[in-house]
Amino acid sequence: MGVYRRLEAQLKPVDYKSDIEPTWCAGCGDFTVISSLTKVFSELRIPPESIVQVSGIGCSSRAPLFMRTYATHTLHGRAIPFAIGVKLANPELTVICNVGDGDLFSIGAGHNPHAARRNIDITVICMDNQVYGLTKNQVSPTSREGLYGSLTPYGNIDRPINPVAQMLSFGATFVAQTFSGNPKHMTEVFKEAISHRGFAFVNVLSPCPTFNKVDTFKYYREKVKDVNSELPFLEYPLVKEKNINEEGHDPSDFKTALELALHDLDHYYNPNAPVPIGVFYRKEEETYEDRVSRVKERYKAVKEPTLELLQSFINA
Ligand code: SF4
Ligand code: MG
């Protein structure tokens, strides 16, 4: 479990909210993200002083201000390295990054593969509105082709990146997608992600009603389907191969997770394609923090390190 300290007496979700009223626009998708997070903190009985939320820059990065936990509002794109520092300094903390699609997949993109492949025990929550909202409407790495932005008057000419497929290929041990218009689903996914011991990534489809008039609540509400329980994905070859009937996708199956993720952006090009949400992948694996202390301990007695000896420490 990624939760190391628990309260005996449960606090209410409201006890995890700060006195600062959210400054987001009315109808912003990010409101329900903090409601779901505070619900999960309460359900998991995490002491507020054991939670550190780290954000970068963007509308979504204001989220920690509105909750009563420790928090750091860092530089653009640098939430992950700050979070890693916090976690390594005190591995018993529950460390969460609240970031946006521009922050995580453009400015800070270089940090993602390394945090994921090392399996650092942090949870990264990306509020993905497919646009830069704080700077008033520029297209982001997840914007669909053709989307209008203040710097792209002819529409976005870049191909969008695929957050779920990227994080799977980087080696994240927990990868999920949810929708801020479905708080029940989002709460369940956050609970699993925060409880996971290792690098957890959740992409939240979180509409920006002020600037993105295409990827709206209405749009997603009609399209999202849960890969773990709904089955409009049966024609995908690997899903078909498994002959899944009623049970949905098994998150321990990496290849099928990747296949489902590779279809994640189909809806940008095909109006009939569903948008997959749910837990794509989950795997128990030694965390970076545990590996460091184990290898250090075994190294103490070594006089002459050889490649074989060191490899035997790492892989034991
Ligand atoms: Fe939310 Fe968009 Fe307003 Fe930012 S600009 S607070 S993302 S609705
Ligand atoms: Mg954004």
Q: Assess whether 83 and 227 both reside in one domain.
A: yes
Q: Please give the mean pLDDT across all residues of the chain.
A: 95
- In terms of DSSP bridges, do strands 174-179 and 275-282 run parallel, antiparallel, or are they unpaired? antiparallel
Mean pLDDT of 88-98: 96
State the distance from the centre of ligand 2 to the C-alpha of 22, rounded, in angstroms: 17
How many structural domains is the chain composed of?
A: 2
Give residue 158's Cα distance to chain centre. Answer: 23
| H helix count then E strand count, the chain | 11, 8
pLDDT of residue 243: 67
Q: Assess whether 173 and 264 both reside in one domain.
A: yes
ipTM: 0.98
Question: Which atom of ligand 1 lies closest to the CA of 211?
Answer: 2
Determine, yes or no, domain membership for 6: no
Q: Which ligand is nearest to the CA of 27?
A: 1
Cα–Cα distance, 60 to 183 (Å, whole number): 16
Residue of the nearest CA to atom 6 in ligand 1?
Answer: 24
Q: 293 lies in which domain range? A: 288-316
pLDDT tens string 217-255: 999 999 999 999 988 888 888 888 876 666 789 999 999
Q: Which ligand is nearest to the CA of 135?
A: 1
Determine, yes or no, domain membership for 93: yes
pLDDT tens string 151-200: 999 999 999 999 999 999 999 999 999 999 999 999 999 999 999 999 99
pTM of the shown model: 0.96
Q: Assess whether 193 and 313 both reside in one domain.
A: no
Pocket around ligand 1 at a 6 A CB cut-off: 24-25, 28, 30, 59, 129, 133, 208-211
Question: In testing the pocket of ligand 1, which one of 21, 23, 24, 142 has its CB within 8 Å of the most ligand atoms?
Answer: 24
Q: Assess whether 190 and 306 both reside in one domain.
A: no
Mean pLDDT of 12-19: 98
Q: Assess whether 203 and 306 both reside in one domain.
A: no
Sheet with 70-73: strands ordered across = 70-73, 51-55, 94-100, 123-128, 200-205, 174-179, 275-282, 224-226
Determine, yes or no, domain membership for 4: no
State the distance from the centre of ligand 2 to the C-alpha of 310, rounded, in angstroms: 43
Determine, yes or no, domain membership for 63: yes
Question: Which atom of ligand 1 lies closest to the CA of 206?
Answer: 7
Determine, yes or no, domain membership for 2: no
pLDDT of residue 291: 92
Q: Assess whether 295 and 190 both reside in one domain.
A: no
Q: Assess whether 181 and 272 both reside in one domain.
A: yes
Return the amino acid letter for 248: G
Cα–Cα distance, 188 to 34 (Å, whole number): 14
Report whether pLDDT(298) > 90. Answer: no
Residue of the nearest CA to atom 5 in ligand 1?
Answer: 133
Question: Which atom of ligand 1 lies closest to the CA of 30?
Answer: 1
